[in-house]
Amino acid sequence: MLYPTCNFLQKITLNWFANFEVSGKENVPPVGPLIVVSNHLSNIDPSIVAVSVSRRLKFLAKSTLFMGPFLSTLLRWYGAYPLNRDRIDVTSFKWALNQLRQDGVILIFPEGTRSKGSMIKAKPGVARLVQMSDATILPVAITGTEHIGNVMRVVHPTGNIKVNIGSPFSLPKIDGTIDGAILKSMTDMIMERISILLPENYRGVYKINKREKTK
């Protein structure tokens, strides 16, 4: 109940206070396990993606947000699960894998933290999750939320906020041992799919020539 209610209210605030635009809604696969990957600029990004993607999302959020009982309960009801970013969090990884094995949708920000306007180097956990789940990947690009720093601005988003949903894709299945070099290569493939959906000034370390064939 909380998820659709929050999304409904978020849509209202976006329509009232911001110039909000979503493109590529037709690219969202209607069924099957799905990992939604996006660049990360602001605390508002999870709800921005949630109102843009037609399927119910669940996502990992930094564990420090779950300290208070009220906020912890609220986040869990909305679909969040705590992630400890200071170590390899096996529990959260297993949780995400279990959701995908039930044909669920997981939202991941591969950079692991908010960037300051342009993409930063991603962590390889998303590539490992893809290999273990065989889930389809859906790239999403967000622009215009970088000025929304305070979490309370969720109720008062402003500016030109745009979400660009790209075409779903899959990574090749790797048999045998997957070493760090392979994980890095696959992670770069994922991030480049996000990068081509972004204006050049947002691409950061993943600045590449725009290839329309991968959109």
With CA atoms as reference, report the closest residue to 190 among 144, 132, 127, 147. Answer: 127
For the chain, how many structural domains are there in total?
A: 1
Both structure tokens of 142 = 């967000």
Residue 215 pLDDT exceeds 60: no
Contact 162, 21 (CB under 8 A): yes
Residue 170 pLDDT exceeds 90: yes
Continuous segment of H or E residues that includes residue 81: strand 80-83
Sign of CA dihedral 112, 203, 191, 81: positive
In this predicted structure, which of 5-19, 60-74, 99-113 has the lowest mean pLDDT? 60-74
Q: What is the pTM of this model?
A: 0.91
Residue 37 pLDDT exceeds 60: yes
Distance, in Å, from the CA atom of 147 to the CA atom of 2, rounded to the nearest integer, reads 26
Average confidence score pLDDT of the chain: 91
> Which residues in 87-105 are b (16+ Cβ under 10 Å) and which e?
eebeebbebbbebbeeebb
Distance, in Å, from the CA atom of 55 to the CA atom of 125, rounded to the nearest integer, reads 23
Task: Please give the single-letter amino acid code of residue 101.
Answer: R
The pLDDT score that the predictor gives to residue 209 is 59
Q: What is the CATH number of the domain that holds 169?
A: 3.40.1130.10
The pLDDT score that the predictor gives to residue 203 is 97
* Phi, psi for 22 (deg, rounded to 5): -125, 130
Helical spans, DSSP H, in the chain: 2-17, 45-52, 69-78, 90-101, 125-133, 180-195
Rama region for 23: left / alpha / beta (φ>0; ψ in -120 to 50; rest):
beta
Domain hosting residue 112, numbered range:
2-214
More confidently predicted of 73 and 200:
200
Distance, in Å, from the CA atom of 19 to the CA atom of 111, rounded to the nearest integer, reads 26
Question: pLDDT band at 58, cuts 50/70/90?
Answer: very high
Point out which residues pair with 106 in neighbouring strands.
Answer: 35, 58
